[in-house]
Amino acid sequence: MRTLSSEELLLIQAYALPVALVAEMDLDEPLRLNSSIYTLKLGEVPYDATRGFGSIEAIRTSAGEFPQLKFSISGVPPSHIALADDTNTAGKDVRVKLALFDPTNYKIASMRLLFDGTLEPLVITDGPETTTLEVVAESAATSLMRQITSLFSDAEQQRLYPDDLFFQFATDQADQKIVWPAASWGRQ
């Protein structure tokens, strides 16, 4: 359980829970969107309003499972649509956070990470009233389940780091008995 700061408590007590979902996509030019009707700011960094996020699946994680997150963003400004269309989004980082903001000045007081992952290619759907970005993201935790392909050999070490000679001497040191001095050694 996480405790709330005094600023967070004041905001929650003073207003009808001013929260918004925030999506950050690390494209060639960072794309920062929020689900409220206001452009929110974290310091001087703006998070553009989408006036309702579209739809987002429930974020569920359980031991050993790292499901994909699927969401759609509607109400995206045309400049951002052009950016998403011109950018290869596969493998780019994406984060979805819950932001608590002050509705008097639209400053973000705190954000909590809900999902961290990498994007698959965005799908852009033109509708009669708005354009929608459909996003599928793979959890960053799936990288923990990937097989390690390192061989831990001298040849691989020389290929990666030519000046590192560690593995040249590793086989000589295998099965060698190391005798440490007594604790009294070096004391006067």
DSSP-derived secondary structure letter, 16: S
With beta carbons less than 8 A apart as the criterion, state whether 96 and 117 touch: no
DSSP-derived secondary structure letter, 119: E
Q: Residue 4: what pLDDT? A: 64
Higher pLDDT, 124 or 129: 124
Query: How many Å apart are CA 175 and CA 180, to the nearest integer?
Result: 16
Express each pLDDT in 82-120 by its tens digit: 777 777 878 888 888 888 888 788 888 888 888 888 888
Among 14-23, 45-54, 75-84, 88-97, the minimum mean pLDDT is found in 75-84
Mean model confidence pLDDT for the chain: 78
* Entry pTM: 0.61
Q: Residue 32: what pLDDT? A: 86
Instruction: Report the share of the chain in percent with pLDDT over 90.
Output: 0
Query: How many Å apart are CA 168 and CA 110, to the nearest integer?
Result: 51
Of 12-26, 63-77, 105-119, 124-138, the range with the highest mean pLDDT is 105-119
CB atoms within 10 A of CB 26: 15
Coil, strand or helix at 7: helix
Is pLDDT at 1 greater than 50 in this prediction?
no
Cβ partners under 8 Å of residue 77, min gap 6: 48
Is pLDDT at 163 greater than 80 in this prediction?
yes
Q: Residue 9: what pLDDT? A: 64
β-pairing, 31-34 with 19-25?
antiparallel
